[in-house]
C-alpha cells in the first residue's frame, strides 16, 4: 500500500527536516564564541539593553580586533561552561576563570591576566570577624562550582574539621542576598565581585579566610594551540596598551 | 502623641517607599530585555508542542491499534521520556549525543528537540486517552463501510479524538512553558535566565523575579485562552464534551 507509506512518511519527515535545517543553519562562517557567566559582575554581565558587557568581555573584544578574528559572547550557566567548551559549543571562556591544576587537566589556559583574592562578605552592621564567621554551626554561602567552594570543602571542612555549614548558591549575588536576609552569616567569593556588591548593597568585606590568591586566565580547548597563541599574543599587547588601564578604571575601580 | 500605639513602624514603611521607585525603574529598564526572552520562551514552547504533536499522534495510534510488540515498544518510549529528568536529558543530548555524533546543534534547537521528545510522550497519552474514550463501534462502522484501517483512523477516529484532547492539551502547554526555563542550563536566554542576569547586575532580585512571574502568568493566560477559542472554533455542534 503505497499511500499508507506516503502519509506516515510525510508525518515523520517533518521533524527530520526541522533538525536538518537547524544543522545547516549552524554551519556558517567561523565565529569564535566566548562563553560567559553573565552573573559575574564586573568581569562579565549583561547591560541594560541585554548586551554582554564587563571587563573580560571588553578585553576580549579588543584582542579579537587586534588579532583579526570575530568573537561573540554567549551568556550561559557557570556549571556547564567547561563541558560546553569541551563539546565545542563555545571556543573560549573569558569570564573570570581561575587557573587551577584541576582545570588545567581539562582545558588550556592563557597567561594569567588578573590576580584575585578570596574574601568573606558579611552584613554591613555585623560585628564579626572573618575568623568568627567560620565558627561551628554558622552558615557560609558560596557559588556552586567555584574554586572557593571546593577549597573550603576540602581544606576547612574536611581537613581542618570545621563545623560550619556550607550553603551552595547559583551565583555570588544570590549568596549576598541571603547574607542581607540573615540566612547565612557570610558569603565567600572573589574580591572584585565582592567590591561590586559593597557598592550596591549594605554589606562589607570581613576579610580573607586563608585561601591563597588566584590568577584569572582565558580557557580554550587543549587542542586549539593556534588559537591559544593568538589569545596570548593579543593579551600581551592589550596589557601593554593604555586601554588596559582604561578598562581597569571603568570596570574594577569605578 | 505619647503612649499611642504605632500601627506601622515608620522606618520600615519609609524604607519601602524609598525603594519603590528604584524597583520600578529596574523593572522598566529590564522589561524590553525580558520580553525578548518571552519571545524565545514562546518559540521554544511552540516548537516543542508542535514536535510533540507530530510524534505524539502516531505514537498514540500505534499504542491503541498497533501490533502487541509495537505497543510494548511505544510503552517503553513513553516510560523512558516521561521518566528521565529534563535537565539530565538536556545534558545527555547536548553534551553527549551531539558530541558523539559530531553534529553541531545550537542550544536553542536542542531545547526544542528535547522538550518536544519529552512532550511527545505526554501528548501521546493525552491522545490515547481521547481515542479510547470514543466508542469502538465508530471504528468498526468505518471498516464496515469499506474504509481501510488507516482511513478509519485518519478520518473518523482522529478528528474526534483530537478535539477531545484540546482541554488536556492546554495543560501540556502550561507545563512546557515553565519547563522551558530549565533550558537556561544550556545557555538559552529565556525569561528566567534574563531575569537572573539583570538581577545580578542591579541587585534588584525581587522586582525582577516578580516581573518574570507576571510574564509567565500572562503567557499561560494567553495560551490557554487561545486553546479555549480553538476548542470553540472546531467544536461540532451537538457533539464533543462541550458542556452547557
What are the strands, taking DSSP E only, across chain A? Answer: 32-36, 39-40, 44-46, 52-53, 71-75, 92-98, 107-109, 114-116, 118-123, 139-143, 165-169, 186-190, 203-208, 214-221
Q: Both A201 and A222 in a single domain?
A: no
The closest of A129, A52, A213 to B193, measured between CA atoms, is A52
Question: Parallel, antiparallel, or unpaired for β A214-221 and A92-98?
Answer: antiparallel
Q: Report the pLDDT value the prediction gives residue B135, as an integer from 0 to 100.
A: 87
Complex prediction ipTM: 0.73
Nearest CA in chain B to A8: B58
The closest of A92, A123, A118, A129 to A107, measured between CA atoms, is A92
Dig out the grid coordinates for A126 from the structure. Answer: 555585623
Q: Both A224 and A204 in a single domain?
A: no
Q: Both A152 and A109 in a single domain?
A: no
* A107: β partners: A221
Q: Both A111 and A191 in a single domain?
A: no
The closest of A57, A38, A73 to A251, measured between CA atoms, is A57
Q: Both A136 and A194 in a single domain?
A: yes
Q: How many domains does chain A have?
A: 2
A206 three-state secondary structure: strand
Nearest-10 Cα torsion for B213, B216, B221, B223: 180
Selected residue of A40, A77, A82, A170 to mutate for chain B interface (largest B Cβ count, 10 A)? A77
Q: Report the pLDDT value the prediction gives residue B48, as an integer from 0 to 100.
A: 97
Q: How far is B202 from chain A (nearest CA, A)?
A: 8
Q: How far is CA B224 from CA A1, A170, B164, B212, B244, in A?
A: 40, 32, 15, 18, 20
A72 domain residue, yes or no: yes
B183 close to B41: Cβ distance less than 8 angstroms:
no
Contact B203 A12 (CB under 8 A): no
Instruction: Report pLDDT digits (tens) over A186-214.
Output: 999 999 899 999 998 999 999 999 999 99
Q: How far is CA B206 from CA A38, B20, B132, B209, B235, in A?
A: 18, 12, 47, 5, 43
Q: Report the pLDDT value the prediction gives residue B136, as an integer from 0 to 100.
A: 86
SS3 content of chain A, % helix, strand, coil (to 5): 45, 25, 30
The closest of B188, B180, B185 to B215, measured between CA atoms, is B180
Q: Report the pLDDT value the prediction gives residue A3, as an integer from 0 to 100.
A: 45
Enumerate residues 6+ apart whose C-beta is below 8 A from B234.
Answer: B163, B166
Element (H, E) at A192: helix A191-200
For chain B positions 120-149, those within 8 Å of chain A (CB to CB) are 148
Say whether residue A198 is in contact with chain B using an 8 A CB cutoff: no
A113 close to A235: Cβ distance less than 8 angstroms:
yes
Average pLDDT value for chain B: 89
Say whether residue A170 is in contact with chain B using an 8 A CB cutoff: yes
**CA B206 from chain center: how many Å?**
25
* Structural domain containing residue A223: 27-115+215-252
- The CATH homologous superfamily for domain B34-234 is MetI-like (1.10.3720.10)
A12 domain residue, yes or no: no
Question: Parallel, antiparallel, or unpaired for β A186-190 and A118-123?
Answer: antiparallel
d(CA A162, CA A135): 7
**CA B66 from chain center: how many Å?**
28
Q: Which residue has the cell 521554544?
A: B44
The closest of A140, A252, A157 to A206, measured between CA atoms, is A140
Q: How confident is the model at residue B244 (pLDDT cuts 50, 70, 90)?
A: very low
Nearest CA in chain A to B26: A48
A88 domain residue, yes or no: yes
Q: How confident is the model at residue A243 (pLDDT cuts 50, 70, 90)?
A: very high
Say whether residue A5 is in contact with chain B using an 8 A CB cutoff: no
Q: How confident is the model at residue A4 (pLDDT cuts 50, 70, 90)?
A: very low
**CA A102 from chain center: how many Å?**
16
Residue A14 predicted with pLDDT over 70: no
Q: How far is CA A39 from CA A193, B34, B42, B140, B182, in A?
A: 10, 16, 24, 61, 17
Say whether residue B240 is in contact with chain A using an 8 A CB cutoff: no
Contact A46 B154 (CB under 8 A): no
Global pTM? 0.80
Contacting residues of A for B32, CB less than 8 Å apart: 49-50
Nearest CA in chain A to B35: A50
A18 domain residue, yes or no: no
d(CA B27, CA B21): 10
A129 close to A120: Cβ distance less than 8 angstroms:
no
Say whether residue A197 is in contact with chain B using an 8 A CB cutoff: yes
Instruction: Report pLDDT digits (tens) over B80-102.
Output: 999 999 999 999 999 889 888 88
Q: Which of A8, A18, A39 sits opposite B197 (nearest CB)?
A: A39
Enumerate residues 6+ apart whose C-beta is below 8 A from B133.
Answer: B161, B164
3-state secondary structure B17-82: HHHHHHHHHHHHHHHHHHHHHHHHHHHHHHHHHHHHHHHHHHHHHHHHHCCHHHHHHHHHHHHHHH
Instruction: Report pLDDT digits (tens) over A78-95.
Output: 888 999 999 899 999 999
Domain ranges of chain B: 34-234
Dig out the grid coordinates for A127 from the structure. Answer: 560585628
Q: What are phi and psi of B8, to 5 degrees?
A: -130, 125
Segment among B5-14, B64-73, B137-146, B203-212 with least mean pLDDT: B5-14
Q: Both A123 and A199 in a single domain?
A: yes
Q: Both A105 and A42 in a single domain?
A: yes
Dig out the grid coordinates for B7 from the structure. Answer: 500601627
Q: Report the pLDDT value the prediction gives residue A2, as an integer from 0 to 100.
A: 42
A143 domain residue, yes or no: yes
Average pLDDT value for chain A: 89
Say whether residue B55 is in contact with chain A using an 8 A CB cutoff: yes
Q: How far is CA B92 from CA A207, B45, B95, B159, in A?
A: 41, 20, 6, 36
Q: How confident is the model at residue A30 (pLDDT cuts 50, 70, 90)?
A: confident
Q: How far is B228 from chain A (nearest CA, A)?
A: 26
CATH of the domain at A176: 3.40.190.10
Residue B242 predicted with pLDDT over 50: no
- A127 compared with A32, residue with greater pLDDT: A32
Q: Both A125 and A140 in a single domain?
A: yes
Q: How far is A56 from chain B (nearest CA, A)?
A: 15
d(CA A153, CA A160): 10
Amino acid at each position: 500500500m503505497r499511500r499508507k507509506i506516503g502519509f506516515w512518511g510525510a508525518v515523520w519527515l517533518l521533524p527530520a527536516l526541522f533538525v536538518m535545517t537547524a544543522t545547516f543553519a549552524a554551519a556558517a562562517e567561523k565565529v569564535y564564541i566566548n562563553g560567559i557567566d553573565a552573573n559575574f559582575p564586573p568581569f562579565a554581565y549583561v547591560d541594560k539593553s541585554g548586551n554582554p558587557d564587563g571587563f573580560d568581555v571588553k578585553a576580549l573584544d579588543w584582542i579579537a580586533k587586534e588579532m583579526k578574528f570575530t568573537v561573540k559572547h554567549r551568556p550561559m550557566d557557570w556549571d556547564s561552561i567547561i563541558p560546553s567548551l569541551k563539546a565545542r559549543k563555545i571556543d573560549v571562556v573569558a569570564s573570570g576563570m581561575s587557573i587551577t591544576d584541576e582545570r588545567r587537566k581539562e582545558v588550556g589556559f592563557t597567561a594569567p591576566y588578573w590576580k584575585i583574592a578570596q574574601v568573606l562578605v558579611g552584613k554591613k552592621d555585623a560585628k564579626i570577624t572573618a575568623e568568627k564567621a567560620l565558627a561551628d554551626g554558622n552558615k557560609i554561602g558560596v557559588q556552586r562550582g567555584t574554586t572557593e567552594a571546593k577549597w573550603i570543602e576540602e581544606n576547612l571542612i574536611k581537613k581542618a574539621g570545621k563545623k560550619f555549614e556550607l550553603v551552595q548558591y547559583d551565583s555570588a549575588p544570590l549568596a549576598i542576598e541571603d547574607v542581607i536576609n540573615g540566612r547565612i552569616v557570610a558569603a565567600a567569593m572573589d574580591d572584585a565581585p565582592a567590591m561590586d556588591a559593597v557598592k550596591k548593597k549594605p554589606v562589607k568585606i570581613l576579610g580573607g579566610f586563608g585561601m591563597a590568591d588566584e590568577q584569572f586566565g582565558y580557557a580554550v580547548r587543549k587542542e586549539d594551540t593556534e588559537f591559544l597563541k593568538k589569545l596570548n599574543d593579543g593579551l600581551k599587547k592589550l596589557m601593554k596598551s593604555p586601554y588596559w588601564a582604561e578598562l581597569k578604571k571603568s570596570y574594577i575601580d569605578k | 502623641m505619647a503612649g499611642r500605639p504605632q500601627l506601622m513602624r515608620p522606618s520600615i514603611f519609609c524604607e519601602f517607599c524609598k525603594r519603590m521607585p528604584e524597583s520600578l525603574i529596574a523593572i522598566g529598564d529590564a522589561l524590553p530585555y525580558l520580553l525578548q526572552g518571552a519571545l524565545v520562551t514562546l518559540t521554544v514552547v511552540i516548537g516543542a508542542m508542535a514536535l510533540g504533536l507530530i510524534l505524539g499522534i502516531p505514537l498514540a495510534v500505534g499504542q491503541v491499534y498497533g501490533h502487541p510488540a509495537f505497543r510494548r515498544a511505544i510503552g517503553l518510549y513513553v516510560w523512558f521520556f516521561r521518566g528521565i529528568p529534563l535537565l539530565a536529558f538536556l545534558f545527555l543530548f547536548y553534551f553527549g549525543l551531539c558530541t558523539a555524533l559530531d553534529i553541531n546543534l545550537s542550544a536553542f534547537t536542542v531545547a526544542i528537540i528535547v522538550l518536544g521528545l519529552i512532550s511527545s510522550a505526554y501528548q501521546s497519552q493525552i491522545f490515547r486517552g481521547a481515542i479510547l474514550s470514543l466508542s469502538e463501534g465508530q471504528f468498526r462502522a468505518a471498516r464496515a463501510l469499506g474504509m481501510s484501517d488507516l482511513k478509519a483512523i485518519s478520518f473518523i477516529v482522529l478528528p474526534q479524538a483530537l478535539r477531545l484532547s484540546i482541554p488536556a492539551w492546554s495543560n501540556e502547554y502550561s507545563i512546557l512553558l515553565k519547563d522551558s526555563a530549565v533550558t537556561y542550563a544550556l545557555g538559552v536566554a529565556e525569561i528566567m535566565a534574563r531575569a537572573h542576569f539583570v538581577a545580578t547586575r542591579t541587585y534588584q532580585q525581587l522586582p525582577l523575579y516578580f516581573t518574570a512571574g507576571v510574564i509567565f502568568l500572562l503567557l499561560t493566560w494567553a495560551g490557554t485562552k487561545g486553546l479555549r477559542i480553538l476548542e470553540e472554533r472546531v467544536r461540532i455542534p451537538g457533539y464533543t464534551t462541550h458542556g452547557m
